[in-house]
Structure 1
């Protein structure tokens, strides 16, 4: 007969309180059921562990030897179980994600703030990266998940759509195109453009869109961060092409922002995960919160339309 955790807990409880009657009450079982559990444990070990005396239950020599190591083992097991239950209930944990800079500065801060309000002990570790690096960090297991534009992920990665936005033109002060409700893409090819560097997914979308209209654009300035380009636009150095979800749009209300048309330049931003791994509960909590923020933003946009 095998040794069970239930039998070990029964033995430990009887030993701690020195009474079958009291131990049965604490374990919420009958005294005969407790006696059966102790006998099964003794049969599994092939040793007598407890003697019943007029003073109660006393350990045998074998029982004392088992007791020396059993109590700390059960305490460690209880601690581990409680810790796992905390993880499952999202009371603690660390989320690691790799994310596009435009999302890191746009939608993500609001999602993290909302997560902290409902799960204050969850920690979020953010790594900003361009799309290719996001995929690689997810693939290598450096992060729990990524947020990036769509690529061909391969069998080990899966994509779940989060949202779609479009590239907008942010105009320097007093620019004539501010009078236009929609700016044709070919017209932008003649302007001084402020673009992200070529390794960004936004730049690749922009270059591809211009190429489809027969234009190859040499930007007036390039930068790693959208905020740098917006500052250049404020100084009158050119037009920034920026995603509609970028936080920098709200941070520069004095600059006119217009949609681009004929063709529109759109991007799909997705959740990138390993196909062969489940998200930990803490990461699931952040994903759920991020979707709530996205839905709220979409509802706000429709209400304002």
Structure 2
């Protein structure tokens, strides 16, 4: 059997005071209740911890030997209970895997707003490509995930979804700047800076091109949107990226226009593991993220 937290507290308090009266007062229990706790602990361990008579209480040799271990157990258990209480009150770690475009665009403001409400909460962000988002949530390495659809593993559950318009991104002064919108058929013959095949943007573009029965003219392939924008800026082609991506919005040397094809809208999925109970802190953060995705 394992000693209870009450028994450990009783043994340590008695060792500190060497008085049943003072130890009982310190623990806010009756002296008979303290006596029962000590006796039950000794019976469980099969050894006397204290020698006592009507006048004094002293640790036995066995009691002196195990006291450091009991003190360590008490500190660890008290710390664990404190951690649990902190999590119940809004602390703990929330782990979210996210598309880089969402992690650099929407997520920073959400975390700032959430921390203003729950300053003791900790948010860990893994900014990875779409396929990795699902993997991290499936394996339990992240509690929440923001990824591109539409293919969702069966062991994940959608908390919220949204649709993100894809744009053609081009250098300043490009003829496309005179247009309000373009179609994929107009872009397909252009040299394209393409995202890597593991990204949801590329998956969306490949599916739309296949539906048209055309093959994109690839100039260069990259893994990150910031790199794609740099390639566009250098004149290596135009790129198809989310129009709201921070990399597009903040760069003063590029511009963008929406692509009218319905197939060039990327579905955004906010997911967690199916049947997994989130902590109270993570549930509250998930509500904020879900509201933001619904408004995309």
- The one-character-per-residue Cα deviations of 1:168-213 (angstroms, maximum 9, x if unpaired) are 2234323343333332333333544333233322122112223323
Equivalent runs, 1:70-219 vs 2, <5 Å:
70-89=70-89, 91=91, 93=93, 97-114=96-113, 118-119=118-119, 122=122, 124=124, 126-128=126-128, 130-219=129-218
The 1:249/1:35 distance shift into structure 2, 3 A limit, reads same
Counterpart-to-counterpart distance in 2, 1:62 and 1:198:
66
TM-score (norm 1): 0.74
Q: Is the 8 A contact 1:96 1:144 kept in 2?
A: yes
The 1:99/1:281 distance shift into structure 2, 3 A limit, reads same
Residue of structure 2 equivalent to 1:28: 28
Residue of structure 1 equivalent to 2:244: 245
Cα drift, residue 41 of structure 1: 3.8
Counterpart-to-counterpart distance in 2, 1:226 and 1:113:
24
Residue of structure 1 equivalent to 2:9: 9
Counterpart-to-counterpart distance in 1, 2:285 and 2:200:
24
Cα drift, residue 254 of structure 1: 5.7
Q: Is the 8 A contact 2:149 2:200 kept in 1?
A: no
Size of the aligned set, in residue pairs, is 294
Counterpart-to-counterpart distance in 1, 2:288 and 2:264:
28
**Where does the alignment leave 5 or more consecutive residues of structure 2 unmatched?**
none
TM-score (norm 2): 0.76
